[in-house]
Structure 1
Amino acid sequence: MASLEELQKRLFRKKDTFQEREQEPTLSPAPMGGPRSWGSGEDPELERQRQQQRARRLMRYALFATVALGTIALVGAAIFFIFLRERASVTREHIFLLIEGPSQITVGEEVVFDVRFRNNNNIPLESVDIIFEYPEGAMPVFGASPRSGPFRERVSVGRLLPNEERHESFRGYLFGNKGDTLIARSTLEYRPQNSSARFGKDVSFEVVVTRSPVGVAIAMPRDAVGGQEVEITVDYVSTTESSLADVSLDVLYPSGFTFVSAEPIPSKDTNLWRLGNVPPGGEGHIRIHGTIDGNAEESKFFTARVGLLDEATNVWSGYGQAIGSLVMRDALLAVSVDIDESIKDGVVPGHHVTFRINWRNNLPVSARNVVLEANLSGVAIDYARVRSQTGSYDSANKRVVWTASQIPEFRFVEPGAAGTVEIEVPVLAQLPIHTLADKNFVVRLDAALYTNTVPEGFVGVETTGKTTASVNVITQFGFVSRGLYRSGVFQNTGPLPPHVAQETTYTVSWSLTSSANDMEGVSARASLPANVRWKNMTSPAGEQVSYDPDTREVVWDAGFVVAGTGYAKPAREVSFQVGLAPGVSDVGRAPVLVSPATAAGTDTFTGFRMEQTSATVTTRLSNDSQVNTNEYEVVQ
């Protein structure tokens, strides 16, 4: 025990060592003898490895055999599938489609297109249709032209057997300009046998227009200055050996051109002439006069067309056309007019238009005794109040003139000299409207800068500069909302003055007026207070008046209001009935029947959006002369 106690002390003693245990004890395995297997002298581990190698070889042989057989099967299936597809599928490449027709035509000639098609597939095509689209501008031989879109025909063929070939013919009149290439198109639509899907194949064909049955020529000056009057001459001649029926001629004008007159007079508007039947070799002439405006060096193009016009659809089938042009030049004595942007698109009656006239000498030499003249026109002008600080106003001839007496510089105007003068033109507050034809008023100014002394070196050369400026007059749009009881179209009921908790009905009348111009898209709307009931009574029956109980809004869709309404003809009116059951809080007051109503619409002549708001309608019926003032306010 002593040794054990000593050992414990040494275990807890610092820096004590156990040298007798510095080497680890080792154990030696006991030797074993005897054979490693029973009944054989071979190693069993070697035998096991040989068996595993044989199993792996067998698995490789099986895998190779499986892959080989699978490859053979896939190749066979692919060959079989390709064979079946070649035998049973339909491809576009095996459908023959062709358009046959003339390669060149004369305008207006009847043309026959032959569409040939063949099924080179091994199975039938079902529900076969041939769609033929004529060249643009073509007309049918029979029936009417389409109102819109291309001219097409569809023919149902039905079933098309393998190797079966057919054809369909299509006839039409072709139109275009000489040198045009017209394109016809055809589509074969089909459904393969035992399939619900539809497919198509397309083909096109080109035709060149080589000749026109009517020759057209247009002549005009090569250039012009702003405001200059020009003459355009259109000549036409038939080049066919047969008559042409229902022929029309029109001229498309460029921007800045103002038509003045024509000989013969146009059949419609200012640019359409119905020539009727034109015999072989028949010819004619049209002379058009008008003024042209534009910027310097701007080209202006005029197009004259001869052909057939379907006025119902406005579709034009042309026999031929001609295009002429002129170039705008600065006048040698140039003049232009500016207008304030605020009134450029329209002026309100009772206001005025200020025209600023700019002049300039573009001659390389001086101009002597120059005159600037401005002529006013338009019945809406208050000619008695026209003013110009520097010009001399001739009220009898409605013109303002500036000479060397008013502008000393005009006595001898140097090259490049320029200046500006002004005219203030007032518009009548009350326009002269007596009939429905009194509408679309315009304030117009025609200015000219000229000299009666021919500048040196410019004998026979037109030096005068001209220009025109105008402002449209905006309509006077009016809207009134009135409350009535004993007047108006309805028989109202209930006490007057209104009593608490008792319903009194009232008539609300709305009226619209438009002085100078037509109005479109006109509507009026207002809302009813919570204590006012809609009585579902409106007049006249033809007016579109509606009430929305959710928003409590009353809407009058007036639509189009003609110029002169309320002036040359009675105002446009509508009436509806409402009921008021006042409360105790309304005693001694005039309750609201309808909120302020707003009417709006568009002036068709100036494009201005117009809007008017009326006053609130209350039981204070000042517009009903049969109601006394002591009947306005609510009593107990």
Structure 2
Amino acid sequence: MAKKLKLKSKKNAPTHEFVKKDLEELSDDVEIIDLSDMTAEEAADELNHNEKEATEKKVATSDKEEEKEDAHEEDVDDTKKLDEETDQTKKMEKELAQIYENEDGSLPDMHTFEKQKGGHVMRALLTLVSVLAFLGGAGWYGYTYLYHPSGTFVENDVILSIGGEEHVGFGEEVTYRVRFKNAQEIPLDNAVLELRYPAGFVFESSSREPDVETNNIWTLGPLEKEDGEYIDIIGKLYGDIDERQSFRVFLNYTPSNFSSIFQKVATQETTISGAPVRLTMSGPKQISQGVATSFTMEVSPDLEAGGGTLPSHLALVFEPDVAFVTQKMVPKEGATLSERLWLIENVDEHVTSTSYTITGAFAGGEGSLMVNVRLVGWQDGQSRSDAYTLAIAEKELAIEDQQLSISLVANGSQQDITVQPGEHVNATIVVKNNTEESLKNVRVRLMFDAPSSKGRSIMDWPSLEDAADGSIVGEQLSDTVRRGQITWSSGQLRDLREIKAGDQVTIDVSIPIKSGDDIDLASYESYEIALAGDAQYTIASGEETAAAAVPLVLTLNSDTTFDVRDEIDESTHTITWLIGNTFHALKDIEAEVDLYGEIAFSQDAAVVPAGEIVYNKAEKKLTWKVDSMPLSVDVLALQFPITLNQANPSQTQLTSKVRVTAIDEVTGKQILLIGNEVGL
């Protein structure tokens, strides 16, 4: 086989330089074949074979070159695409930077942004925002330039508001914020802010000092464009629970292009939702008229009520919606029987609860009735008439039917009344059969439990008037109280032998109270007369039973008297008023009279040893006021002259009747007297 030889240069071979250079350039690609020892056929085969290999090699080389060219073209295309994407990215980044960059050219922190799916939704949202922004801009433009031209005052652009809690506890500290602003071009002159607090609000402080000697007025002065601020008002709110109280704020001002005063008003309503105290009541579900019934009230601190403080004065008041005669109240400390209330010093948060029990009888109502008890409170400087309701407890009672009903009337009243020494007590007891059968052998009893001194009652029993002539029995109940009772049966009153269905029997008596002319009133310590009645009877089955009336309490006030005297000297009347009193000390004494006709009256001519007189010339009304009358003073006097300037034939009276009122310091009750008029 022919040998394949690589052509190489030899050091000792003599060659020309250009031949050497060409051979070196071809040495790696050209093969030299030795055919010297081959036949012609072998040499031809060898050449053909080498030609074929050369062709295949050339084709392979060409394919590789095409692949390289394709790869190069792909690289060029990829590079071109990458450049285009880079340009697009840079353009987007530039646009985003223009959108999000801050005023100083810096970009906000984008790390907190989250990429979310839903490109279509985002594009729709962006479109909607763009539309709304366009509409808003158009609206603002129209509002500003069409309806609010520069230099025009717009009242709605004066902003005023007040905000605070809608529900607070009684006495809880509250804060209300008042905001005001001039949101327009026109300045506002002489701006003054005024708050009107509800009656139960106690002002404590404010973030801006109010005007001198006020706690609700702030003189703001001029308010320029966009001027405004807020003022915090701090205080405590008192009032009835569940009561809505209204805060009102007024902003008065004068626009600089007007001469008239304008006013803006804002309100805030707040409800007192509760107080830090709890009140409950227990008692029977059914009651009978005239039968003693007890109710127990529990007062306890309510630590869950949150903020708020109780007032310094508290009272627990029992309030039935029909007549109720109180017989006993426990505890006695702070209790007032006639008013059915306890005065409470405080509610100790460390005490679980405090019990109060009242016992008495109902004197009216049909079917059912409501009983409620209220805990009320008032602050120092206030009176009980100003008290707030802190808690309420209610109970509905069913009234049981009675076979025999008994009712009492004293001086025309079925309620408690006041009386005076020397006055007559006219008492009536009525018994009625409420069944459908006759009641037989009825016995009726009427009792007077009255003040007593040394075993003698203040009631004048020898002067008793009783047409039925009942039996009288006396009983000493205590050192200060003596009972006198009258009993009637069929022996004294035939109608009591049998009371038919639906019929009734009425018994009347009259008994005077002794006066200071008969006894030493100062020796009687008690001042209440209890009037009670009951009855026993037999029903058809032969069973004997009983029923009772609702007792009445007659409070014995002082023996105050009032006398009018008149001395006439031609056309001048010298009038004297005399107030007498010996039983109880008096306070807040007031006598009032109207004067008639063409008269002359001079306060300087009046003789006023005690108190003071006030004359209203326009109304022709004269009033005499005396603060107190102790027992050491038994007579008060006032004298004044009245001159009749012109006689009127049709005028018969110079004065009206005199109305005299006073408060008995022992009983706490009002005394009312009527003095005679002065005639002509």
Normalised by the shorter chain, which TM-score bucket? 0.5 to 0.7
Q: Distance in 2 between matches of 1:211 and 1:540?
A: 52
Sort the Cα spacing of 1:154 and 1:291 in 2 relative to 1 into closer, same or farther, 3 A.
Answer: farther
Q: Distance in 2 between matches of 1:509 and 1:463?
A: 55
Aligned partners of 1:436 and 1:563 also within 8 Å: no
1:32-66 per-residue CA deviation (whole Å, 9 max, x = no partner) reads: xxxxxxxxxxxxxxxxxxxxxxxxxxxxxxxxxxx
- Of 413, 419, 425 in structure 1, the residue corresponding to residue 511 of structure 2 is 425
Q: Which residue of 2 aligns with 1:256?
A: 323
Sort the Cα spacing of 1:275 and 1:193 in 2 relative to 1 into closer, same or farther, 3 A.
Answer: same
Q: CA deviation at 1:606?
A: 5.9
1:602 aligns with 2:659: yes
Q: Distance in 2 between matches of 1:455 and 1:175?
A: 61
1:102 aligns with 2:102: no
Q: Distance in 1 between matches of 2:388 and 2:300?
A: 17
The residue identity in structure 1 corresponding to 2:235 is G
Secondary structure of the structure 2 residue equivalent to 1:87: coil
Secondary structure of the structure 2 residue equivalent to 1:278: coil
Q: Distance in 1 between matches of 2:277 and 2:656?
A: 55
1:4-49 per-residue CA deviation (whole Å, 9 max, x = no partner) reads: xxxxxxxxxxxxxxxxxxxxxxxxxxxxxxxxxxxxxxxxxxxxxx
The residue identity in structure 1 corresponding to 2:635 is A
1:309 aligns with 2:379: yes
Q: CA deviation at 1:359?
A: 0.7
Aligned partners of 2:578 and 2:638 also within 8 Å: no
Sort the Cα spacing of 1:471 and 1:206 in 2 relative to 1 into closer, same or farther, 3 A.
Answer: closer
Aligned partners of 2:194 and 2:218 also within 8 Å: yes
The residue identity in structure 1 corresponding to 2:461 is Y
Sort the Cα spacing of 1:190 and 1:575 in 2 relative to 1 into closer, same or farther, 3 A.
Answer: closer
Sort the Cα spacing of 1:295 and 1:472 in 2 relative to 1 into closer, same or farther, 3 A.
Answer: farther
Please tell me whether Structure 1 or Structure 2 has the larger radius of gyration of its CA atoms: 2
Aligned partners of 1:372 and 1:449 also within 8 Å: yes
Q: Distance in 1 between matches of 2:231 and 2:629?
A: 58
- Of 452, 458, 466 in structure 1, the residue corresponding to residue 550 of structure 2 is 466
- Of 534, 557, 572 in structure 2, the residue corresponding to residue 448 of structure 1 is 534
Q: Which residue of 1 aligns with 2:393?
A: 322
Q: Distance in 2 between matches of 1:471 and 1:281?
A: 36
Q: Distance in 2 between matches of 1:182 and 1:599?
A: 45
Sort the Cα spacing of 1:83 and 1:266 in 2 relative to 1 into closer, same or farther, 3 A.
Answer: farther
The residue identity in structure 1 corresponding to 2:658 is G
Q: Distance in 2 between matches of 1:256 and 1:401?
A: 26
Secondary structure of the structure 2 residue equivalent to 1:289: strand
The residue identity in structure 2 corresponding to 1:419 is V
Aligned partners of 1:249 and 1:307 also within 8 Å: yes
Question: How do residues 434-445 of structure 1 correspond to structure 2 at under 5 angstroms?
Answer: 434=520, 445=531
- Of 212, 227, 230 in structure 2, the residue corresponding to residue 167 of structure 1 is 230
Q: Distance in 2 between matches of 1:178 and 1:538?
A: 51
Sort the Cα spacing of 1:131 and 1:267 in 2 relative to 1 into closer, same or farther, 3 A.
Answer: farther
Q: Which residue of 2 aligns with 1:231?
A: 294
1:370 aligns with 2:437: no
Q: Which residue of 1 aligns with 2:466?
A: 388
- Of 407, 410, 426 in structure 2, the residue corresponding to residue 336 of structure 1 is 407
Question: How do residues 506-517 of structure 1 correspond to structure 2 at under 5 angstroms?
Answer: 512-515=578-581
Secondary structure of the structure 2 residue equivalent to 1:396: strand
Q: Distance in 2 between matches of 1:160 and 1:425?
A: 80
The residue identity in structure 2 corresponding to 1:262 is M
Q: Distance in 2 between matches of 1:546 and 1:203?
A: 44
Q: Which residue of 1 aligns with 2:127?
A: none
Q: Which residue of 1 aligns with 2:431?
A: 359
The residue identity in structure 2 corresponding to 1:477 is F
Q: Which residue of 1 aligns with 2:247?
A: 184
Give TM-score scaled by structure 1 length: 0.59
Q: Distance in 2 between matches of 1:97 and 1:173?
A: 23
1:552-609 per-residue CA deviation (whole Å, 9 max, x = no partner) reads: xxx99754597898xx7443346899xxxxxxxxxxxxxxxxxx99896334356442
The residue identity in structure 2 corresponding to 1:216 is L
Q: Distance in 1 between matches of 2:610 and 2:245?
A: 52
Aligned partners of 2:176 and 2:233 also within 8 Å: yes
Q: Distance in 1 between matches of 2:540 and 2:629?
A: 51
Q: Distance in 2 between matches of 1:471 and 1:251?
A: 20
**Count of matched residue pairs:** 479
Q: CA deviation at 1:521?
A: 0.8
- Of 625, 635, 639 in structure 2, the residue corresponding to residue 571 of structure 1 is 635
Q: Distance in 2 between matches of 1:396 and 1:247?
A: 43
Unaligned 5+ runs, structure 1: 1-81, 144-150, 484-507, 528-533, 548-554, 578-595, 617-636
1:392-414 per-residue CA deviation (whole Å, 9 max, x = no partner) reads: 23142411112344345645555
Aligned partners of 1:250 and 1:304 also within 8 Å: yes
Unaligned 5+ runs, structure 2: 1-144, 207-213, 452-457, 476-483, 569-573, 616-620, 642-652, 662-669
More helix as a share of residues? 2
Q: Distance in 2 between matches of 1:406 and 1:186?
A: 77
Q: CA deviation at 1:384?
A: 0.8
Give TM-score scaled by structure 2 length: 0.55
The residue identity in structure 1 corresponding to 2:550 is K
Q: Which residue of 2 aligns with 1:121?
A: 184
Aligned partners of 1:133 and 1:184 also within 8 Å: yes
The residue identity in structure 2 corresponding to 1:572 is L
Sort the Cα spacing of 1:116 and 1:454 in 2 relative to 1 into closer, same or farther, 3 A.
Answer: farther
Sort the Cα spacing of 1:383 and 1:90 in 2 relative to 1 into closer, same or farther, 3 A.
Answer: farther
The residue identity in structure 2 corresponding to 1:390 is A
Q: Which residue of 2 aligns with 1:477?
A: 562
Question: How do residues 138-217 of structure 1 correspond to structure 2 at under 5 angstroms?
Answer: 138-141=201-204, 153-175=216-238, 181-208=244-271, 212-217=275-280
Q: Percent identity?
A: 18
Q: CA deviation at 1:202?
A: 1.9
Aligned partners of 1:475 and 1:603 also within 8 Å: no
The residue identity in structure 2 corresponding to 1:333 is L
Q: Which residue of 1 aligns with 2:62?
A: none
Q: CA deviation at 1:223?
A: 5.0
- Of 395, 399, 403 in structure 1, the residue corresponding to residue 489 of structure 2 is 403
Q: Distance in 2 between matches of 1:199 and 1:286?
A: 57
Secondary structure of the structure 2 residue equivalent to 1:93: helix
Q: Distance in 1 between matches of 2:553 and 2:330?
A: 26
Q: Which residue of 2 aligns with 1:265?
A: 332
1:88-135 per-residue CA deviation (whole Å, 9 max, x = no partner) reads: 343432122233333443443322222222222321222323333445
Sort the Cα spacing of 1:106 and 1:327 in 2 relative to 1 into closer, same or farther, 3 A.
Answer: same
Sort the Cα spacing of 1:188 and 1:600 in 2 relative to 1 into closer, same or farther, 3 A.
Answer: same
Aligned partners of 2:182 and 2:223 also within 8 Å: yes
Aligned partners of 1:248 and 1:309 also within 8 Å: no
Q: CA deviation at 1:187?
A: 2.6
Q: CA deviation at 1:301?
A: 4.1
Aligned partners of 1:381 and 1:443 also within 8 Å: no
Q: Distance in 1 between matches of 2:578 and 2:397?
A: 48
Sort the Cα spacing of 1:261 and 1:186 in 2 relative to 1 into closer, same or farther, 3 A.
Answer: farther
Larger relative contact order (Cα-Cα within 8 Å, sequence gap ≥ 6): 1
Sort the Cα spacing of 1:250 and 1:118 in 2 relative to 1 into closer, same or farther, 3 A.
Answer: same
Sort the Cα spacing of 1:471 and 1:365 in 2 relative to 1 into closer, same or farther, 3 A.
Answer: farther
Sort the Cα spacing of 1:424 and 1:238 in 2 relative to 1 into closer, same or farther, 3 A.
Answer: closer
Sort the Cα spacing of 1:391 and 1:228 in 2 relative to 1 into closer, same or farther, 3 A.
Answer: farther
What RMSD, in angstroms, separates the aligned Cα atoms of the two structures? 5.5
Q: CA deviation at 1:374?
A: 0.5
